[in-house]
Amino acid sequence: MALAGRDVELIEGTIAQNLRLARHDATVDEMRQACAAVEMLTAIDAIPDGFDARIGPQGLNFSGGQRQRLGLARALLHRPDVLILDEALSAVEPALEDRIRHRLRAILPQATILSISHRRDGADWADRVIRLDEGRVMAEPPSPGCARPGRRRRRPRADSAGLRAARAQ
C-alpha cells in the first residue's frame, strides 16, 4: 500500500534520496519513469544537478504542486497493490491532474486506487464514486454511469441550481 497526500513530507537530502524512501533499490531509470508519469521529469532535468539536486528544509525550494508530484512519484516507485490519493494533486492545475490520473490506470493496471478529492470533476475516471457529506454517504451513482477503462463519463454541468439540489439531498 502507498499513500500520496496533499501535504508531502520531503527530507533534507537529494531528490533521489527522497524518491528512494519508497524503495531503496530504485534505479535512476525507474525514478525517471515515475517522475515522467507525474510530469515532473522536465523540471528535474532543468535543475543543474538533476536527481542529485538538494531539497531544502521541508522541500520549500519546490512549489506545492511539485512537492505533491514528487510524493506521488515516490508512491509509484513502491509499486503498490493499493494506492490512496488523499488530495494528492490539489495543488496542480486541473488539466495536469486529469492527465496524471488517467495515466495511473496504465501504470498500475491491477491496483486499487482510492482517490479522495473535493473536486467534482476528479471523479470522471473512477469505476465507482461515493459522495460524503459530514461523514455520511449521501449519494452513490450506479456503476454503469462511471468511467470504464477507455471510456470517459460525461461531466455534469456545474450550474448553481444543480449544485444546490445536490447539497440539499
pLDDT score of 120: 67
Cα distance between residue 74 and residue 128, in whole Å: 25
Task: Give 86's strand partners.
Answer: 5, 116
Burial profile 143-169: b = 16 or more Cβ within 10 angstroms, e = fewer = eeebbeeeeebeeeeeeeeeeeeeeee
pLDDT score of 6: 84
Residue of 126, 105, 110, 112 lying closest to 83 (CA atoms):
112
In this prediction, what percent of the chain has a pLDDT beyond 90? 42
Task: Give 4's strand partners.
Answer: 85
Question: Domains along the chain?
Answer: 1-87 (3.40.50.300)
Q: What is the pTM of this model?
A: 0.76
pLDDT score of 147: 44
> In this predicted model, what pLDDT tens digit does every residue of 65-103 receive, in sequence order?
999 999 999 999 999 999 988 888 888 888 998 899 889
pLDDT score of 139: 67
Q: Phi first, then psi: what are they for 38, rounded to 5°?
A: -105, 15
pLDDT score of 150: 43
- Across the range 39-65, mean pLDDT stands at 91
- Across the range 125-150, mean pLDDT stands at 66
Altogether, the residues listed in the chain come to a count of 169
- pLDDT of residue 113 exceeding 50: yes
